[in-house]
Structure formats: structure tokens, C-alpha cells
Amino acid sequence: MPNYTDVKAATISLLNIYSHDHDILNGYGKPVDAPKYSAVTKLATVGINAYVRRAMMKPTNEAMRGKFPDSWRAVGASELVDQDTIGGFIKLMSSCNSLAVPFGEPT
């Protein structure tokens, strides 16, 4: 069973690949008092709109299954389309790994 921190990190890395001129990887949660990107950041504002999320179905399944082969269960395009924030995406990735999201997360 993967841990939440690993799944969260893998999700942010994946989103960073498809974000449009946005460095989510280095800007997530930083600076602490006014993070550039956080769980409430709308994905469409960084170029990951519904079309892009739909196109991420295969890449997401391949990337997550590569990292968490024992726990990952496939995600569908409509589920990705329905998540419009980074936090929603993290929760979905956790769910697909049969993983509980710790209280207060994602931040």
C-alpha cells in the first residue's frame, strides 16, 4: 500500500508535465504563507482544462500504475474531467490507490 505523501507527490509531478508554462512542481505549497499553487488551484488556470484532462487518461493510468503497480486501479476520462482543482485530482488519485486522504489534506 503506497503512502499518501508519495501519491500526492506523484500527482503533482504528473500535473506538472501537462501544465502550460507553469512550474507546479516547484511552486506547490510555496511560499508557505501565500503558495503559488495549492489544492484549491483551478486546473484550467494552468492549462489543464477539461480537454487536457480527458487526454490525460492513458498517461495517468500508465504513470500511476508504473509507480504503484500493486494498488492502482484504472481511472476513466470522465472522472478526470470531473476534477477541476489540484486537490480534487489528488483525492481521485488517492481513491484509485485505495488510499484514505488524511484529515485536512490535500493542502
| Interface with other proteins (CB under 8 A) | 1, 5, 17-18, 20, 22, 29, 32, 42, 44-52, 54-55, 57-59, 61-62, 65, 69, 71, 73-79, 81-82, 84, 95-100, 102-105, 107
CB atoms within 10 A of CB 59: 12
Minimum Å gap between C-beta 62 and other proteins is: 6
Are the beta carbons of 97 and 71 closer than 8 angstroms?
yes
Minimum Å gap between C-beta 67 and other proteins is: 13
Minimum Å gap between C-beta 23 and other proteins is: 13
* Cβ nearer to other proteins, comparing 23 with 59: 59
User: What is the spatial distance between Cα 1 and Cα 99, in angstroms, rounded to a whole number?
Assistant: 8
What is the grid cell recorded at 84?
477541476
User: What is the spatial distance between Cα 41 and Cα 29, in angstroms, rounded to a whole number?
Assistant: 11
Closest C-alpha among 27, 91, 18 to residue 60: 18
Minimum Å gap between C-beta 43 and other proteins is: 9
What does DSSP assign to residue 101? P
